[in-house]
Every structure is written in C-alpha cells, then in structure tokens.
Amino acid sequence: MSSTVIDSDNLNALVATLTTGTLRKQLQAIQELSTIEAEGEQALIEFLQQYQTARAANATPPTAAHGSAYQRLHASQRESTKTFVDQAFSAGLLTPESAQGVDYSDLQLLLIQQDYQAADKLTMQKLCELAGERAIQRKWVYFTEVSQFPTTDLRTIDTLRRLYSEDKFGWSKQRELWIRLGQDWERLWTQLIWKSAEGKWTRYPGEFIWELSTAPVGHLPLSNQLRGVRMMDSLLSHTAWVQ
C-alpha cells in the first residue's frame, strides 16, 4: 500500500464509515484507507477483528466490505499485517461448504488475489466436478446436469464470487439483472457486455473485462452462450436462488 498523509479527523471519519456507511461508502473508505500506510492498514485490521468477534458470537457472515478489506490486507508487504492475516484468516474469510466434498479453497484464493480469469476457468472445472466424471472428461456441463447441482455448492461459489468482487460478480447478481430485464436474454447479454449493441459476441478472452474496477455488475462468471441459453437458464432458475 502506498503512503498518504491524513489528519486524525479525516482518519476517524473513514474508520466510522466502515461500520456505519452503506456498502458503496464502505468500499470508498476502504480504498482511501488502503493508501494510508500504517494507520490505514491498522484500521482495516480492526475492521476485520470486529467481524471476527461478531462471527464467533453469532455466526455473522462476512460482507463484500470485509472481502475488500481482506484482499487489500492479503496483498500487503507489511510484516505485522502478514502476521495478522496468517493467524486470523490464513485461508480466507470463509470455510467453503460442499455437499459433494468439492474443495473450493483454490477458488477462494484466486478470488482473493483478484485473478478473475483464472477463477472463471476454475469455476467451470468445479461445476464439472459436481456434474460427474463424464463432465470432467468433456470439460463442460450439460444444462440437464445443472438442476442436480447441490444448493450448498452453488451458493458457496456464488458467495465467494460476491464476497471478493465488491458484490459485483456471481450468478445471483446475473439473476437479479435477468429478472429486472424481463428475462430477456438479448438485453442481458448487452448489459453484461457479453454481446455488443450491434449483436457481436464478445470474444474470449481478450474482449472480456478481468479488472474489477472496470467490469460491469454481473460480468462474471462467464457461461458459453454459443451453445445456446439453456445452461444459463438452468443456472439462473436453480432453486439455490429462490429458497
């Protein structure tokens, strides 16, 4: 983190925003605090310590603000910060659950590191694991297999996506857009920038947006629409999002 000088009043205001502000204001405060070397990192550490205490008391889930703070601390080179991360949240903010014994720790790490392109490839691999050996061999999933995916696993992947993307990415975010757009696929593709306004499909991988700061809401994870919309329809219609 680069160092920025800030007076105590402004620092205190940013710290207060971490616990009282909307998600948008929290994320802005986290970004500003990340430019204040020692004091900023300490404020983010204390923010996560507060979450840690709340989680121990009542199983409070982390928010996208906690995810953003953790990503910035995870990238720090400061020894005291590294020690905190290793001792408090060495594997990430979540212990991913799976009804089929699928390991999502590698996916969590890629998302923490904001390596969204690699995370996208790995997400498809995890879906193939859920679908079974034939899907693993073919390296893609039939739409008929999606309805059999455990709710637990889809929610785990989606929660990881939202947690480490400032609440921008995930199937549930895509579903929100899809519903709002009247379940109109063409409008959704344009909204996600998977297709241009002129009807040209976005080319993989170079034309997709792998940077969090510039990607639109719902841009990731990807789903191959060249085979049609049935897999995407099955994902967005899964009972995981309506229970």
| Rounded-to-integer distance, Cα 33 and Cα 1, Å | 9
The total of structural domains in the chain comes to 2
Per-residue pLDDT averaged across 132-159, rounded?
Answer: 96
Per-residue pLDDT averaged across 186-196, rounded?
Answer: 95
Same domain? 174 vs 223: yes
pLDDT digits (tens, 9 = 90+) for 98-118: 999 999 999 999 999 999 999
Tokens (6 digits) for 221: 């994870």
What pLDDT is stored for residue 59 in this prediction?
83
Same domain? 125 vs 234: yes
pLDDT digits (tens, 9 = 90+) for 23-33: 999 999 999 99
Percentage of the chain exceeding pLDDT 70: 97
Assign 5 a pLDDT band (cuts: 50, 70, 90): low
Could you say which of 57, 89, 121 is where a domain stops? 89
SS3 195: strand
Q: Tell me, yes or no, whether 100 lies in a domain.
A: no
Chain centroid, CA 131 distance in Å: 22
Per the CB < 8 A criterion, the answer to whether 22 and 64 are in contact is: no
In this predicted structure, the answer to whether residue 1 has a pLDDT above a threshold of 90 is no
Q: List Cβ<8 Å contacts ≥24 apart for 18-26.
A: 18/43, 18/47, 18/65, 18/69, 19/47, 19/50, 23/63, 23/64, 23/65, 23/166, 23/167, 26/63, 26/65, 26/68
Mean pLDDT of the chain: 94
Range of weakest confidence among 25-39, 137-151, 159-173, 225-239: 225-239
Q: Tell me, yes or no, whether 156 lies in a domain.
A: yes
pLDDT digits (tens, 9 = 90+) for 10-25: 999 999 999 999 999 9
Residue 123's CATH number: 1.10.10.1770
| CA proximity to 139, closest of 160, 118, 125, 155 | 125
In this predicted structure, the answer to whether residue 133 has a pLDDT above a threshold of 70 is yes
Could you say which of 32, 57, 89 is where a domain stops? 89
What pLDDT is stored for residue 228 in this prediction?
77
Same domain? 149 vs 68: no
| Rounded-to-integer distance, Cα 227 and Cα 175, Å | 19
Q: Cis ω on the peptide bond leading into residue 221 (within 30° of 0)? A: yes
Could you say which of 89, 119, 153 is where a domain stops? 89
Q: Which residues constitute the domain of residue 41?
A: 8-89
